[in-house]
Structure 1
Amino acid sequence: MGKLLLSIAVLFIVIFLVKVLLRKIFHIEKRKKEFFSYSHVNSLHRKVDWVIRIGSMIVYLIFFYKLIYEDYSLNLMLGIMLILFVLQMAVQAFFEWRYSEHPKEAILTASEMAILALAIGAVIWFDLLNFLIGTPN
């Protein structure tokens, strides 16, 4: 379990450093955001985001059921999470780029999406979940 927490901490540090670097390269001003706030660009973005969130929750509930009672693969669940996560972040980046007063923010959102997608993809591809959690083979 310690490896998993360390991996998550390293991942967040990498995301933070990449964002700092991209802010300097592209001259993106840091905007004040509240912790766990929704950063919807307009009402259409809010509606689309909530449709994705509600749809994701339904899909998660179905796959949690399948995971627990029908012995589906945990990697399949991670794959579904990856697809839904990329969809949500891609919508966020699109609305920031197309409709925001600060379109360069989409660069930061897209970079965060890419880093997290690569990390989740690596966990799936190399079957790292057992290694990170520490379960015996």
Structure 2
Amino acid sequence: MFWLNFASIVLIIFALIIVVRLFLRKTFNIEKEEKTFFSYNYINDFHKKIDWAIRITSIITLIITFYLIIYQDYSLNLFLIVLVIFTGIDYAVRAFFEWRYTQNPKQSILTISEMFILVIALIIIIQFDLLNTVS
């Protein structure tokens, strides 16, 4: 049942992000940027350094969180809370660099909207225990 809930939540969030992006593109006349699938397009070298620092910090934090969940019987919600924090930080940094250092600063509107959708979705999952994570 967990995987069915998880898959349906992921599909709903993915569909919501697509709809919001299309709406915002039309509303604000934001050009579509070509990005390759499964690659991260850095704005500049400074952005790359900051992003890697965030990734390394999040990996270390998530490993510690997994340890606490598995061996210390913490709730899975701890993992989701850490995920909310690092998702917000990652998207905020990306939006800042898009707004400040690109030819198309309106692209940051899409990044911020995607961040809000993901963070709100994770908060709703935690609040209503949609993955049945009671431990």
TM-score range (shorter-chain normalised) is over 0.9
User: AA paired with 2:91?
Assistant: M
- Equivalent residue pairs, number: 133
Does residue 29 in structure 1 map to residue 31 in structure 2?
yes
In the alignment, what sits opposite 1:70? Answer: 72
Q: Which SS does the other structure have where 1:130 is aligned?
A: coil
Is residue 90 from structure 1 mapped to residue 92 from structure 2 by the alignment? yes
Asked whether the equivalents of residues 80 and 122 of structure 2 are also in contact (C-alpha less than 8 Å), the reply is: yes
RMSD: 1.5
Q: TM-score, normalised by structure 1?
A: 0.92
Identity over the aligned pairs, expressed in percent?
48
2 CA distance for matches of 1:6 and 1:124? 16
Compute the TM-score of the two structures, normalised by the length of structure 2.
0.94
Shift of 1:68: 0.5
Shift of 1:73: 1.2
Answer whether contact 2:21 2:110 (CA < 8 A) is retained.
yes
Q: Deviations over 1:43-69 (max 9, x none)?
A: 100000000001100001111111101
Cα deviation for residue 3 of structure 1 reads 2.7
Unpaired runs of 5+ residues, structure 1, are: none
Amino acid at match of 1:81: L
Structure-2 separation of matches of 1:64 and 1:25: 42
Residue 8 of structure 2 is aligned to residue 6 of structure 1: yes
Q: Secondary structure at the match of 1:33?
A: coil
Q: Letter of the aligned partner of 1:113 in structure 2?
A: M
Structure 1 runs (4+) deviating above 3 angstroms are none
Which digits, 9 at most, give the CA deviation of each residue in 1:42-98, with x for residues without a partner? 110000000000110000111111110111111111101110111011000011001
Q: How much does 1:114 deviate?
A: 0.2
